[in-house]
Amino acid sequence: MNRSSHLDETQLLKHISLDCVVFGFHDSQLKVLLLRMKRTKDWALPGGFVLLDESIEIAASRVLRERTGLDHIFLKQFKVFSSPDRSNTNPGVQDLLDSGAIDDSSWFNQRFISVGFYALVDFSKAEPTPDLFSDLCHWKSLEDIDLLILDHNQILDKALETLRLQLNYQPIGYNLLPDRFTMPELQKLYETILGKELDRRNFQRKMLSYDILCKLEERKTGGAHKAPFLYEFNLENYGKALKHGFNGGW
Amino acid sequence: MNRSSHLDETQLLKHISLDCVVFGFHDSQLKVLLLRMKRTKDWALPGGFVLLDESIEIAASRVLRERTGLDHIFLKQFKVFSSPDRSNTNPGVQDLLDSGAIDDSSWFNQRFISVGFYALVDFSKAEPTPDLFSDLCHWKSLEDIDLLILDHNQILDKALETLRLQLNYQPIGYNLLPDRFTMPELQKLYETILGKELDRRNFQRKMLSYDILCKLEERKTGGAHKAPFLYEFNLENYGKALKHGFNGGW
C-alpha cells in the first residue's frame, strides 16, 4: 500500500509497507475496517510505512492507533506479500502522479513488499479515522466487500484463511466479544468467521471441553423466557491455549 | 543477513533479506543447517536477498536450492525480523568493510529487515554448499549450536517455537522421515523437536487417532526379535490435516 500520515520519505524505510486486516464483530456480522481513497473512491485496507527507527510491529501498532484510536490491539503478522508486480497498478500512486505531487522516480512509485497483519478489535470501542489519502474510514461487512486496490483482496482472503485455521487450534473471541457473553453469541462469532452454521450441541460440547470458559451464575437479562447463561473467558487457560493450542501439547 | 551469491546490488531489492532455518533429522537428532563465515568463523543461518523480479518465496527457494541442491522443499514463512538495531553489529558487513570491498555508505551497510522461513528437508538428500561469504555449510545438532551472528539465535528460537506449536495442530514428519518408518522413529522425531520424552502408549494412541498413518503388513527388518511394524503417511488425510488442523475443523 502507499498511504501514510508520514509523508517525509526521508524518514521511511524504502520498499517496505504494511497492511492491516482489522476484524470487528457487530450485529452478528464480521466486519473489516476499510479506507475509501479520496479521488478514485476505491477501497483499501489500512496500512502504512515503517519509520527508520521503528520495527514493523511498532509501525503496525502506530497505524492501527491512528486508524482506530485504540492501543494494545491483538495484532498478528501472518504473511509477507511480495509479488514483483503487486505495485504496478497502485491507484493511490496513480492519484499522486496525476496530481503532480510526486513524479515517476518517486519513492512511492517503486516496488514495495508489504507485511500483512490481522487485528481483532472491539467494534464498539474503535473510532475509524481516515488517513491522508482517504476521505472515509469505515467498517464493511465481509459479504459487502467488493474489489479492493492492489492485492488487498488477496491479503484479506489470506487473513481470513489464517483466522479460520486458528479457530481449529487456538481460542478466539476475547478481543471480539464483550467481557461477558452467552454461548449463542460465541457460537455466532464462530459461525460468522467460518461462514457456515454449526450444530448447537456439538459446539457447546467442544467449546466446554477446551476449558477456557467460566460459566457465571447470572443469565443474560432482557427478553426471552429462558435467558441463556453468561460466560466469561478463563484468561489463564485462554492464554495457555493461545500458546500451546487446544490439544494441550504432547 | 548480508550474504548472497548475487553481489550485483543493482539487481537486488534494498533493505530486504531472508533467513532460512533448515531442519533435518538424522541419528535421532534435530539438525540445523549453518554457514561458517570465511574470516571470523562465526556461524550464521543460510540467507540471501531478493532479486528485483522475484517474490520473497521464490528468493527463499532459490537460496535453499543453492545451499542444499534440493527443489520443492517444505518452506514456510514464519515471521519478519525488523528490529531497527538488528544490523548494527553484522560481522559479515564488518568483514566487507575491513576488506575494503564496501564502504560505509554501501548498500550492504544499511538497515535490513529479514523475512524468516523454516524448511523441513530430508537430511540424506541435501548437499550442503557454502555461499560466497562462508567457507563451510554444515548440519549442526540443536544442542551444539552456540552464538550465531546478528539476531540469528532469535530467528532460530522463533522457528523452533513455531515448529513446536505446529506439532500441536498439524502433522509433521512427511518431509523429515523416510517414506516408511516405525512408530518409535516417529515418536523420536517428536521427542527431538519437543526436547522431551513422551509416553509410548499415549503417543501411539494420539497419533493413530489423527488418522494420517497407514500401517503396513511389513515389519522393519534386521536385528530385534520383535521388529516394529512399518508405517507410511496417508497423504490425502495428511494434506487435509495440514490445511485444517487435527481437530478437523468446526
CB A14 within 8 A of CB B13: no
* Nearest residue in A to B204, CA atom: A250
Q: Which segments of chain A belong to CATH 1.10.10.10?
A: 181-244
Q: For the beta carbon of residue A41, count every other beta carbon within 10 angstroms.
A: 11
Instruction: Give the span between the Cα atoms of B163 and B116, in whole angstroms.
Output: 13
User: Are A82 and B50 a contacting pair at CB < 8 A?
Assistant: yes
Query: pLDDT tens across B126-143, in order?
Result: 999 999 989 999 999 999
- Which fold is adopted by the domain A9-167? Nucleoside Triphosphate Pyrophosphohydrolase (3.90.79)
Q: Which residues pair with B138 in a beta bridge?
A: B34
Beta strands at B29-37 and B47-51: parallel, antiparallel or unpaired: unpaired
Q: Which residues pair with B232 in a beta bridge?
A: B214
pLDDT at A96: 63
- B 40-79 residues with CB < 8 A to A: 50, 52-57, 77, 79
Question: In this predicted complex, what is the ipTM?
Answer: 0.85
Distances (CA, A) of B139 to A227, B31, B51: 62, 6, 27
CB A125 within 8 A of CB A70: yes
Instruction: Give the span between the Cα atoms of B65 and B204, in whole angstroms.
Output: 35
Q: Which residues pair with A33 in a beta bridge?
A: A139
* Nearest residue in B to A56, CA atom: B82
The answer to whether A200 contacts chain B (CB < 8 Å) is no
Query: Of A10, A82, A246, which to mutate for an interface test with B (greatest number of B Cβ within 10 Å)?
Result: A82
Q: Max Cα separation, chain B?
A: 68
User: Are B245 and A169 a contacting pair at CB < 8 A?
Assistant: yes
Q: Which segments of chain B belong to CATH 3.90.79.10?
A: 9-167
pLDDT along chain A (250 residues), means of 10: 57 93 93 94 95 95 97 93 77 65 69 94 94 95 93 96 87 89 94 92 93 90 76 94 77
Query: Of B61, B162, B188, B250, which to mutate for an interface test with A (greatest number of A Cβ within 10 Å)?
Result: B250
CB B130 within 8 A of CB B45: no
* Class of the CATH-defined domain A181-244: mainly alpha
Nine cell digits for residue B122: 530430508
Q: Give pTM, 2 decimals.
A: 0.87
User: Are B52 and A111 a contacting pair at CB < 8 A?
Assistant: yes
Q: Of B76, B66, B97, which is closest to residue B4 (Cα–Cα)? A: B66
pLDDT along chain B (250 residues), means of 10: 57 93 93 94 95 95 97 93 77 64 68 95 94 95 94 96 87 89 94 92 93 90 76 94 77
pLDDT at A102: 64
* Nearest residue in A to B18, CA atom: A80
Q: Max Cα separation, chain A?
A: 68
Residues 6+ apart with CB under 8 A from B245: A165, A168, A169, B169, B170
Distances (CA, A) of B66 to B7, B12, B49: 15, 17, 13
Helix (H) or strand (E) holding B202, with range, is helix B200-209
Phi, psi values for residue B90, rounded to 5°: -60, 105
Q: Which residues pair with B35 in a beta bridge?
A: B44, B137
Say if residue A153 is exposed, middle or buried (CB neighbours under 10 Å; 0-12, 13-18, 19+): middle
Instruction: Say which residue the cell 564502504 belongs to.
Output: B103
